[in-house]
Structure 1
Amino acid sequence: MRSEIGAMLAGAPVAIAAEFARDMLAREVPEAASPEAAARGAEAALGAERFTVQRGLAVVPVRGILTPNSAVLEAWFGWSTYFGLAETMAELAERADVAAIVLDLDSPGGLVLGCEDAAQAVAAAGARKPVHAIAAPMAASAAYWLASQASSIALTPGGVVGSIGVALEATSVVGPDARGEQAYRLTSSHARAKRPDPGTEAGMAELLRALDEIEAAFHAAVARGRNIPPGDLAARLSVSGDPCDGGACFRGAEAVARGLADTIETRAAFYARMISAHGAAARPAPSARFGAIAAAALARAAL
């Protein structure tokens, strides 16, 4: 029986740009793959690292569907986890050979659980040394929550940022025999462009209350990180005159105009600027921890 990654997110609040995540969510969960395929995937992940350091600049890839601590998805696909990111930021903040940190993002977002803690870790590292972000080409939803805590955000030409809001899919039993299910797709109040029983008024109200509570934390983090007055943020994110019509993604000059990004530049130009500003003579120094995780996954797959 095929088990898809999307099932891992079912029923939980998510901060994800669904239009950019469909292919990833439709992939087979690695644990459901054949032992031979699992071994090949884990072996390929051995070369992946949580970060590298070169000439004083630490580069932290933020990739894929973000989860709190899925060692399987991290080892198999090289996708980031909130636990891994928080651990990485704490380590880099302490390292004497790191003058500045870059979050290199290509992610449509993921689960809400764990994201706030990782975002706080980015902000904490930023209090110690410069932290910059580049959406290359995408930092959407939960990934933008993380990027917003950097001191600057660059956007590659044609890149995407935004999708600021929270969503949830829930079901309610319906039908005379109570064997059917009605599916509901909910968004937080300021994310229309994005379970208690949603088939009842009280259940729906509770689900919306929980989503809006998460959205409030998301908005507060973005406003703080991007120096946007909190009362102005919902209007800036709206695609109409109604502040509830937020949750969309934005590109290029529009993202900059709305205060969601600072510059539009190629990755080559961005890294040339980072090296010029923060670079120093230093040997590349990859994290050893992720290699250990991948090695453990390979050992498990071989059993």
Structure 2
Amino acid sequence: MTPFPHLAQRLFNVPIAIHPQKAEVVMAALADRLGIASMFRGGELISLKPQAFDDEEIGGPSSRSGRRERDQGYDLVGGIAVIHVTGTLVQKLGTLRPYSGMTGYDGIRLALLAAMQDPDVLAIAFDIDSPGGEVAGCFDLVDVVYRLRGEKPMWAILDENAFSAAYALASACDRITVPRTGGTGSVGVIGMHVDLSQALGKAGITVTMIRHGEHKAEGNPYEPLGKDALGRMQADIDTMGELFIDTVARNRGLKASEVRATKAGTFLGDAGLRAGFADVVSSPGAAFRALLNTL
């Protein structure tokens, strides 16, 4: 059975913390695979990037040989556990590492907890390049990272971007480094409602919703979204957006009003420093070397 309808349920008609442009890309890619390509235009699949830290920058080929006989979800490089966070972030992926353009909060959590218990791990580096993803599971993971901060040094090393849910994760770390061409921010939540009613009608298909309870199946894709339903969905988005703002403000030592004033904007390179969203502009390799030098 194809996994795309299941993935669509996790991205459409639910709140997500993702960069809007990537949301359009994901919607277009899924639309094509769900047989509704005529509703959308363009798009590309999100691909998994290779490791960010090349051998020359961090000190020779031995630096990359970090996998153990039993994979715990991170690479051990010079005493640093490197946890890769790439592609779209989802609540449950069922793997310790990124897979098929996605990273699971479940895998990140297990890798982090294992690294914290590993006596060979002296510090943790989150290698991040992600537009964000699901709200579900995001803030629980961020709170875990925040609570563990101080036990071992934790740096978010961006290669290239940490937007939305990915930035929430980065903000919980001790230090955030961003490349000159990398981005931070997009502290906001969006929802995408898919209305298939007209398309189904043109295809000669009628879906009748039989419900008990006025709000049951509210926001389903087979009926136009009513004004009251839109209002309730907007209220949920606003609640989660304020949670996002408060979380980033706590993590970064900023005022909530300062984070809110960014209006979910994104910041390139050193603009992120001025916004308080990053600590230093640095290439991933140079940032990793700097973390090594602190040990």
Q: Does 1:209 align with 2:232?
A: no
State the match for 1:196 in structure 2.
Answer: 218
In the TM superposition, what is the alpha-carbon distance from 1:77 to its structure 2 partner? 1.9
2:272 aligned with 1:227, yes or no? no
- Give the residue type in structure 1 aligned to 2:249: A
Bigger shift: residues 74-83 or 267-276: 74-83
In structure 1, the partner of 2:279 is 262
Which of residues 88, 112, 120 in structure 2 aligns to 1:65?
88
Q: Percent same amino acid at aligned positions?
A: 27
Matched ranges for 1:1-303 at <5 A: 3=4, 7=8, 8-20=10-22, 50-71=73-94, 76-77=99-100, 79-171=102-194, 179=201, 196-197=218-219, 199-235=225-261, 237=262, 246-278=263-295
* 1:91 to 1:74, Cα distance in 2 relative to 1, 3 A: closer
Of 5-14 and 266-275, the range deviating more from structure 2: 5-14
After superposition, the Cα gap between the structure-2 partners of 1:137 and 1:14, relative to the gap in structure 1 and judged at 3 Å, is same
Do the aligned residues in 1 keep the contact of 2:132 with 2:162 (CA within 8 Å)? yes
Cα RMSD after superposing both structures: 3.1
Partner SS state of residue 103, structure 2: coil
Matched letter for residue 21 of structure 2: E
Q: Following TM superposition, by how much is the alpha carbon of 1:125 offset from its aligned partner in structure 2, in angstroms?
A: 2.4
Tell me if structure 1 keeps the 8 A contact 2:94–2:107.
no
Conserved 8 A contact 1:13-1:112: yes
- Structure scoring higher RCO (CA < 8 A, sep ≥ 6) equals 1
Task: Go from structure 1 to structure 2 and tell me whether the alpha carbon gap of 1:49 and 1:137 turns closer, same or farther (over 3 Å shift).
Answer: farther
Q: Tell me which residue corresponds to 2:212.
A: none
Alpha-carbon contact 1:102-1:131 (below 8 Å) kept: yes
Question: Measured at CA, do residues 260 and 99 of structure 1 come closer, stay the same or move farther in structure 2, by a change above 3 Å?
Answer: same
Residues 1:4 and 1:115: Cα distance change in structure 2 (over 3 Å):
same
Paired with 1:231 and 1:92, the residues of 2 have a C-alpha distance of 35
Residue by residue over 1:93-137, the C-alpha shift from the partner in whole angstroms, topping out at 9 and shown as x without a partner, is 222111111111011011111111111121122131111101110
CA gap of 1:4–1:161, structure 2 versus 1, over 3 A, is farther
CA spacing shift, 1:11–1:252, aligned 2, 3 Å: same
Q: Tell me if the contact between 2:149 and 2:173 (Cα under 8 Å) persists in the aligned partners.
A: yes
Question: Which amino acid counterpart does residue 248 of structure 1 have in structure 2?
Answer: G
- What is the SS of the residue equivalent to 1:71? coil
Secondary structure of 2:125's counterpart equals strand
1:289 — aligned with what? none
Question: Higher mean Cα deviation, 15-24 or 199-208?
Answer: 15-24
Change (3 A) 1:217 1:107: same
- SS of structure 1 residue aligned to 2:294: helix
Give the whole-Å Cα distance in 1 for the aligned partners of 2:98 and 2:19.
23
Q: Give the C-alpha shift of residue 150 in structure 1.
A: 0.4
User: What SS does the aligned partner of 1:204 have?
Assistant: helix
**2:48 aligned residue:** none
Q: Per the alignment, in what secondary structure is the counterpart of residue 102 of structure 1? A: strand
**One-letter amino acid of the counterpart of residue 253, structure 2:** N
TM-score, structure 2 as length reference:
0.71
1:221 positional shift: 1.1
Taking structure 1 as the reference length, what is the TM-score of the superposition?
A: 0.69
Give the distance between the partners of 1:10 and 1:174, measured in 2 at CA. Answer: 15
Matched-pair contact (CA < 8 Å) for 1:5–1:24 = no
- Unaligned 5+ residue runs, structure 2? 35-66, 203-216
* Distance of aligned partners of 1:164 and 1:88 in 2 relative to their CA distance in 1, 3 Å threshold: same
- In 1, distance between residues paired with 2:3 and 2:80? 42
- How far apart are the structure 1 equivalents of 2:173 and 2:128? 12
* Structure-2 separation of matches of 1:76 and 1:89: 17
CA contact (8 A) 1:5 1:25 kept: no
